[in-house]
Amino acid sequence: MNIRTAVVCLLLSAVTVSLSPAQRKEVVGYYPSWRGRDRNSLVIPATIPYDKLTIINYAFFTPRPDGTIAGKDSIGDALYLRGAPGSRLTDLAHQHGVKVLLSLGGWDDSDNFPAVAAGPKLRMAFAHACIEAIGAYGFDGIDIDWEFPGYPEHKGTPDDKRNFTTLLRTIRDSLSAYGRQTQRRYLLTAALPAELSHAADIEVKEIAEILDQLSLMTYDFSGPWDPRSYHNSPLYASQGADSGRSLDGAFKLYHRTYGIPADKINLGVAFYGKTFTHCTALNTPHEGADTAHFPIGLYYEILNNMGKFERRWDDQAKVPYLVSTEWNMLVCYDDPESIRAKADYVLEKGIHGLIIWEITGDHLPDGTTPLLDAIVSTFRTNH
């Protein structure tokens, strides 16, 4: 990328935009509480750009073996969920008309799901714990992020396929009963695998009848764990690549193969990238991730190092990548151009919306949010 192009991209991405009242596309931002204390507490509830979001998923609480739940980040929970009235994340979001869901699980904390989902007593205990959290903190619903039913490395079993459906139905029944008491309707959503290898272990059609929204994790299609470099979150597959490893492939899997209505599906966008050391081309061997220059790999870290790279564009996948001959490195990531292409795809296909992992990733010190703005401006302009 030359200097002129970089400046133009940054100027365009810095335009402040917000969702209009008529905007109906969902923009769901995951907020990992532990990130709130990064960069001198840059992204805390008081600084979240609520006007650009429709739902915030607070990440994460985790299921315990006895069916109860616990926060992953006790400091963040104390600051953001149990603060003074009016200062809590849920309070501030509601002031802007934004819902907040409690997200349970995540990659690091899904091991207890199989046992909790296996029996009626633990399922009921888990659902009851979800209701207690809603009452205590003012959440508007529950998001289940079980990664993944049937996955042996996270203690998965073949019974997870049926038990996942039953667990969701138990939660839904509890939400409905609680809603009758409070005269409200609470949302139930789930973050779901994007590829057939994991989706095959889920009763997709059955859970679609229970869930309000199915959110596909259309990122992490590739990373340092793979022998060859490839895009993290391509809109389409590159030539010769597996078509299922893309947003388009995931949407077709759920919409065409499983018959899920497009307006019940959210696709995922990544506000982070993947690095490959000793590698300067796609689909070539590498020697793992660069954690020295990119400890987290979030978008703001990539921007901070942009001067070391040449930006290239994969016109088939509709995503950029960066090459550094000096550092002998490849970075696969998303920028405003690729994010706009994904938002356009959502509009074209009649998809419900987008989920973001995660909203601190593009939040810059001056308060601008270039990737989030790319979503909102596309939805607003083409609504």
Give the pLDDT confidence of 178-223 residue by residue, as tens digits. Answer: 999 999 999 999 999 999 999 999 999 999 999 999 999 999 999 9
Active site residue 147: yes
In the chain, at which residue ranges do the beta strands (DSSP E only) sit? Answer: 26-32, 55-63, 69-71, 99-105, 141-145, 187-192, 213-216, 265-270, 274-277, 310-314, 319-324, 329-332, 353-357
Per the structure, the complete domain to which residue 256 belongs is given by 21-271+334-381
Q: Is residue 4 part of a domain?
A: no
Domain of residue 213, CATH code: 3.20.20.80
| Number of structural domains found in the chain | 1
Q: Is residue 84 part of a domain?
A: yes
* Residue in 26, 147, 203, 301 annotated catalytic: 147
What would the pLDDT profile of 39-70 be if each residue is shown by its tens digit? 999 999 999 999 999 999 999 999 999 999 99
Q: Is residue 279 part of a domain?
A: no
Percent of the chain with pLDDT over 70: 93
Q: Is residue 308 part of a domain?
A: no
What would the pLDDT profile of 325-341 be if each residue is shown by its tens digit? 999 999 999 999 999 99
Q: In the structure encoding, which two tokens stand for residue 252, read together?
A: 């077709």
The CA distance from 192 to 258, in Å, is 13
Mean pLDDT of the chain: 94
pLDDT at 4: 38
Q: Is residue 329 part of a domain?
A: no
Q: Is residue 309 part of a domain?
A: no
Q: In the structure encoding, which two tokens stand for residue 318, read together?
A: 């509709």
In Å, how far are 57, 64, 132, 288 from 105, measured between CA atoms?
Answer: 12, 10, 17, 26
Task: Report strand pairing: 329-332 vs 274-277.
Answer: antiparallel
pLDDT category, 241, cuts 50, 70, 90? confident
Listed residue (246, 251, 252) closest to 219, CA to CA: 246
Q: Is residue 294 part of a domain?
A: no
Listed residue (281, 303, 305, 285) closest to 293, CA to CA: 305
Average pLDDT over residues 261-283: 98
Average pLDDT over residues 173-179: 98
Listed residue (253, 236, 214) closest to 352, CA to CA: 214
Pair 354, 266: CB distance under 8 Å: yes
pLDDT at 6: 41
Q: Is the pLDDT score of 237 beyond 50?
A: yes
pLDDT at 171: 98
pLDDT category, 3, cuts 50, 70, 90? very low
pLDDT at 383: 58
Task: Provide CB contacts within 8 A for 292, sequence distance 6+.
Answer: none
